[in-house]
Structure 1
Amino acid sequence: MKAAILIGGQGTRLRPFTLDAPKPLLPVLNRPFLEYQFQVLRKSGVREVALCTSYRALDFRRAFGDGRRLGLRLRYVRETMPLGTGGAAKNAENLLLGGTSLILNGDVLNAFDVRAFLSFHRARRAEISIALTRVKDPTAYGLVLTDAKGLVRRFLEKPSWDEVETNTINAGAYLFEPSVFSHIPAGKTYSLERGLFPERLAAGAVLAGWVAPGYWIDIGTVDKYLQVHLDILGGRTPFKPGAGVRALKGFEGAIVAAGAGAHVAEFARFSGAVSLGRGARVGRGAQLSDCVVLDGAVVGDGARLERCVVGARARVGTHATLGPGTALAGGSRVGDYSQL
């Protein structure tokens, strides 16, 4: 089976970090986020992957090349204008010939069994199967309602609590039979979620919804980008940090992962889970709790950081404070004793 990953978005909700890199290439524990999805594909036997690019498309070629070092064969297709999820998938049609295709959203991490998904899809003889995940607050998402056999019966967009009948949402992974592509217009902006899926359901096509067990997260916001680090460090996922990451010892009750060349001065204190990028430096007496400090950033003496993300090469001044939700752009500077 071949796969396509939709990675053309600009990642506006993850700015300022996506001003310098596309969202799927942002580092998560010193490994590009997309490499975790590659791990899932490789483990499931998928070897050919089409990357559907648009924003900063060349960055992906520089990062992954032809995919050999990852155990994959990567091919690239680029949108010259934004085409939405449907148009991006249509662009990859010629690279997905030969059978059922797996389509993935590039900003979602699914730790699921692709083979089990495919078996479900074939058993239902579906034209399209949608991987689903369960959420605590279904009013924040579009819901997918299925029957007892797992066949899709209805789509419900961001319901009120009195309309909620399920908590299963689209998890951003799909299986397509080859015929599906004939229903996607070429060269036009078109949505899988708001166009293709409800239209095919209304036309009587068989759509199935498979509730995927295991870890799932959409890293589309700064809060979720921070959370995926905390989840991996906290052992809540099957994923491991990238090569060269070492666990720092001697910080009781904290999990600290440091990239190559990271340095922590004496009397620094950590709590929760903290990720330090390559060459990051933490000053004397600094206090860090549940935060991410990206490559080459410097945290000054006595600074305090809590549930925040510090961009690459940023400078946090002596005794400065960064509070929950702070997203400090790469290369920026926070003055001594500042509070954000």
Structure 2
Amino acid sequence: MKAIIIAGGLGTRLRPLTYNTPKPIVPVANRPFVVHQIEHLRRHGVEEIILNLHYLSDTIRDILDDGKEWGVKIYYSIEETPLGTAGAVKNAEEYFDDEPMLVFNGDILTDINISQVIEYHKKKGARVTLTLTRVDDPTAYGLILTDAQGKVTRFIEKPSWEQLSTFAGVNTINAGIYVIDPKIFKHVPKGVEYSFERQLFPELLEKGEPIYGFVSDRYWIDIGNPTQYRQAHEAILRNEVAVKIFGTRTDGKIWIGENAQLDKAVKLLGPAIIGQEVKINAETRIKDYTVLGDKVVVGRESSLERAIVWEGTKIGNHVSLTGCIVGFNCLIEDQVQVGEGIVLADNSVLKKGSILRI
């Protein structure tokens, strides 16, 4: 089976992190995010992947090349202008064959059992199978109703709490993973913006086409904003989602990369990921859910807790980072405090004694 990853968005919700780095290669556990998606697809037998790109596409292609490193063949479909979710897939029509294909939203970190979704699709004789997941607050998403056989009966885009009270107990949303019969793309106009969620799927339902929902309780998150990006790392470090992490695992909860230099007086209170060639000086404390990218340097007597620090950043002495994200190649001088929810763009410089809080 072929898969297409829809990854052409601008990543606006993750700015300033995505000004220079397109979302598909934003580091997650110190590896390009899309690589986790590729490896997940490969584990379920997908060997050919079409990557839909738009923003900074050459940067992504330079890293992924032909996909051989991950045991897949990657084809590239480039949008000159944004075409929406269905329009983006239609744009890659030259790579389709007659077999069902998998569509994967480029914002999603998950270990949903794709093999089970494919089997379900075949068993039901569906035109489209939507993977559904349960969330506590469906108002930010699209609620999907199904009957007892799993057949989709209704789409409700971003329901109000009043609407939810009408459907007590229903909290299944579109997880952004579909198995699709390519024949449905005859309903999608070429070269114009067109949405799966708001246009194609409701139109197919109205035409009586069989659309089914496969409900999964496996881990799922949209990493599209800084809060959820940090939550994804916490889930990885709690072993809630299966992804590959580079480094030697110690104490069951800390990964240390090759050639990392940690002073013997460093306190690792983990879970944490320490990248390759990281240097951490004496009496520094690395606390829960901290991720340090490759070649990060941390000075003496600093404290990092729930901090995600990208490659090449230099951190001084007596620095406190809590619940923040620090972009590539930043300089944080001595006695700086960075608080909860702060996001620093690449190459930021914080002078000695600076305090950043929301």
| TM-score interval, normalised by the smaller of the two chains | over 0.9
Match of 2:189 in 1: 185
C-alpha separation between the residues in 2 aligned to 1:114 and 1:231?
A: 20
Out of 255, 259, 267, the position equivalent to 2:275 is: 259
Verify: 1:322 aligned to 2:338, yes or no.
yes
Could you tell me which amino acid in structure 1 is paired with residue 75 of structure 2?
A: R
SS at match of 2:173: strand
Match of 1:288 in 2: 304
Match of 1:246 in 2: 256
Out of 347, 351, 356, the position equivalent to 1:331 is: 347
Q: Say whether the 8 Å CA contact 2:271–2:289 is kept in structure 1.
A: yes
Match of 1:61 in 2: 61
Out of 215, 222, 228, the position equivalent to 2:219 is: 215
1:157, CA displacement in angstroms?
Answer: 1.7
Out of 254, 269, 273, the position equivalent to 2:285 is: 269
Out of 151, 174, 177, the position equivalent to 2:178 is: 174
C-alpha separation between the residues in 1 aligned to 2:217 and 2:119?
A: 15
How many pairs align?
340
1:98, CA displacement in angstroms?
Answer: 3.0
Match of 1:75 in 2: 75
Alignment of 1:6-25 (within 5 A): 6-25=6-25
Can you list the C-alpha shifts for 1:19-65, whole angstroms capped at 9, x where unaligned? 11110101112210011111111111010010111111111210111
Q: Say whether the 8 Å CA contact 2:127–2:209 is kept in structure 1.
A: yes
Q: Pick which of 189-198 and 250-259 moved more.
A: 250-259
Q: Say whether the 8 Å CA contact 1:232–1:240 is kept in structure 2.
A: no
1:243, CA displacement in angstroms?
Answer: 5.8
Q: Say whether the 8 Å CA contact 1:51–1:77 is kept in structure 2.
A: yes
Q: Say whether the 8 Å CA contact 2:267–2:284 is kept in structure 1.
A: no
CA RMSD of aligned residues (A): 1.5
1:5, CA displacement in angstroms?
Answer: 0.5
Could you tell me which amino acid in structure 2 is paired with residue 140 of structure 1?
A: A
Match of 1:307 in 2: 323
Could you tell me which amino acid in structure 2 is paired with residue 293 of structure 1?
A: V
C-alpha separation between the residues in 1 aligned to 2:95 and 2:268?
A: 51
Verify: 1:225 aligned to 2:235, yes or no.
no
SS at match of 2:27: coil
1:181, CA displacement in angstroms?
Answer: 1.0
Flag structure 2 segments of 5+ consecutive residues without an equivalent. 249-254
Flag structure 1 segments of 5+ consecutive residues without an equivalent. none
Q: Say whether the 8 Å CA contact 1:132–1:212 is kept in structure 2.
A: yes
Could you tell me which amino acid in structure 2 is paired with residue 288 of structure 1?
A: L
SS at match of 1:19: coil
SS at match of 1:18: coil
Verify: 1:206 aligned to 2:218, yes or no.
no
C-alpha separation between the residues in 2 aligned to 1:256 and 1:300?
A: 20
Could you tell me which amino acid in structure 2 is paired with residue 299 of structure 1?
A: I
Q: Say whether the 8 Å CA contact 1:30–1:243 is kept in structure 2.
A: no
1:252, CA displacement in angstroms?
Answer: 5.5
1:161, CA displacement in angstroms?
Answer: 2.1
Could you tell me which amino acid in structure 1 is paired with residue 113 of structure 2?
A: D
Could you tell me which amino acid in structure 2 is paired with residue 256 of structure 1?
A: A
1:73, CA displacement in angstroms?
Answer: 0.4
1:193, CA displacement in angstroms?
Answer: 0.7
Q: Say whether the 8 Å CA contact 1:152–1:208 is kept in structure 2.
A: yes
C-alpha separation between the residues in 1 aligned to 2:246 and 2:89?
A: 29
C-alpha separation between the residues in 1 aligned to 2:351 and 2:275?
A: 25
C-alpha separation between the residues in 2 aligned to 1:25 and 1:199?
A: 34
C-alpha separation between the residues in 2 aligned to 1:197 and 1:154?
A: 10
